[in-house]
Amino acid sequence: MDYQAKLPVPFGVLGIRCDDTALLRIDFLPATEKPRRANGALSVAACEQLLRYFESPDMQFTVPIKPGGTPHQQKVWQAMCSIPRGETRSYGELAAELKSGAQAVGQACGANPIPVIIPCHRVVGRSGLGGFMGHASGAPLDIKRWLLAHEQR
């Protein structure tokens, strides 16, 4: 995949994709991936804001985003953005708020193309962490734990 930047972060590398008007995608890449300087004003801004977030979770993202997705996914992603830092909502709570099903909310979380900025890590299971990036175990959940702990600081 062609990235405008590959940004090293505490748990690996983020692949940043932008067009001329907005951030389109953030992918979690292995820590072995070679970092790449941002090329273009939008990817520079996205990287600067992400680095500030990793320094201080109170940072407010202002980079324009264009996640695409279905109308339902966009509704779920917008609701996730309203969850305050340091707080979580269960899939069921978000589903009740949106008059949707918990499974549909979970699918929208798994399809989120701009994690961290669209904070799908703040959506958890009723009795546990839930999944992250379409996975129920392994490294993705370690990233989710890291992000949640970071936002508690």
What does the angle CA 105 – CA 110 – CA 112 come to, to the nearest 5 degrees?
95
Helices in the chain by DSSP H: which ranges?
41-55, 71-81, 91-98, 102-110, 139-151
CB-based burial of residue 98 (10 Å sphere; 0-12 exposed, 13-18 middle, 19+ buried)? middle
- CB 49: neighbour CB atoms within 10 A? 18
Question: Which residue blocks in 82-135 are alpha helix, DSSP H?
Answer: 91-98, 102-110
Which CA distances in Å does 10 have to 7, 89, 97, 133?
10, 24, 33, 18
Catalytic residue among 18, 47, 109, 120: 120
- Known catalytic residue: 120? yes
Tell me the catalytic residues.
120
